[in-house]
């Protein structure tokens, strides 16, 4: 199996090999962001790749937002699109070593890109990065979990079981406004830190 490390991801971006990138923010997450009202919320978009969700947050005035990636090229791509943005918003590093506290973390194709063996570690880390009452929201893939990936799949039952100990599950349902290639394969969720 391929090692999904910094070099792997950097190579994917260097060779323009990122078919998961929709080229813009996806509708389920856009719809969620559009109903947020607290512009001072501290928000993280981890493993964000080209960061369309992060860019949308900044455009909507959520200026306490941050994007984190293990590969430098996608962060450079974001900087090219948002040249006025302070570099402090672009966090280069390993998610599992990141230290801070957030009110909201947006999940978009990060969880499914990690080897399934790291899922329990991801859940623990997300819990530690969220402030009391903080939320983890976004999209998880809904298709049978296989060794072939990324992306790696999963199911509602698996997610309920995996996240349920540390998070209150507010929403976990098939997204009704996914882009065509992902129709029926995405679950929109909102989990709150217990």
CB 113 within 8 A of CB 47: yes
Helices (H) then strands (E): counts for the chain = 6, 7
Q: How far apart are CA 176 and CA 51, in angstroms?
A: 22
Is the per-residue pLDDT at 63 higher than 60? Answer: yes
CB 115 within 8 A of CB 152: yes
Is the per-residue pLDDT at 1 higher than 70? Answer: no
Is the per-residue pLDDT at 21 higher than 90? Answer: no
Percent of the chain with pLDDT over 70: 82
Per-residue pLDDT reduced to its tens digit, 112-163? 888 889 999 999 999 999 999 999 999 998 887 766 666 788 899 999 999 9
User: For 13-27, 65-79, 101-115, which range has the lowest pLDDT when averaged over its residues?
Assistant: 13-27
Q: Strand (E) positions, 40-185?
A: 43-46, 65-69, 90-92, 102-108, 130-141, 167-174
Half-sphere exposure of 140 toward its Cβ, with a 13 Å CA cutoff?
27
Retrieve residue 172's tokens: 């976990």
Q: How far apart are CA 160 and CA 190, in angstroms?
A: 12
Grade residue 14 by pLDDT with cuts at 50, 70 and 90: low
Query: Would you state the pLDDT for residue 93?
Result: 92
Is the per-residue pLDDT at 19 higher than 60? Answer: no
Q: Cis peptide leading into 150, omega within 30 of 0?
A: yes
Grade residue 25 by pLDDT with cuts at 50, 70 and 90: confident
Q: How far apart are CA 159 and CA 142, in angstroms?
A: 10
Cα 57 → chain centroid: 13
Rounded to two decimals, the pTM is 0.86
Regarding predicted confidence, which is higher, 87 or 18? 87
CB 67 within 8 A of CB 94: no
Retrieve residue 130's tokens: 């969220």
Is the per-residue pLDDT at 6 higher than 70? Answer: no
Instruction: Classify 138 as helix, strand or coil.
Output: strand
Is the per-residue pLDDT at 17 higher than 70? Answer: no
């Amino acid at each position: 199996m391929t090692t999904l490390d910094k070099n792997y991801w950097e190579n994917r971006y260097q060779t323009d090999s990122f078919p998961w990138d929709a080229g813009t923010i996806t509708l389920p997450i856009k719809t969620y962001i559009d109903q947020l009202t607290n512009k001072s919320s501290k928000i993280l978009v981890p493993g964000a790749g080209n960061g369309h969700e992060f860019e949308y947050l900044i455009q909507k005035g959520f200026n306490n937002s941050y994007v984190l990636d293990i590969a430098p090229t996608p962060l450079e791509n974001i900087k090219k699109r948002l040249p006025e943005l302070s570099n402090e918003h672009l966090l280069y590093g390993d998610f599992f070593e990141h230290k801070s506290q957030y009110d909201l973390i947006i999940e978009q194709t990060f969880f499914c890109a990690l080897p399934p063996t790291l899922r329990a570690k991801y859940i623990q880390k997300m819990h530690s990065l969220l402030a009391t009452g903080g939320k983890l929201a976004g999209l998880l893939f809904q298709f049978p979990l296989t060794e072939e990936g990324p992306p790696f799949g999963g199911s509602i039952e698996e997610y309920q079981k995996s996240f349920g100990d540390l998070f209150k599950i507010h929403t976990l349902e098939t997204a009704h406004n996914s882009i065509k290639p992902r129709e029926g394969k995405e679950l929109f969720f909102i989990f709150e830190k217990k």
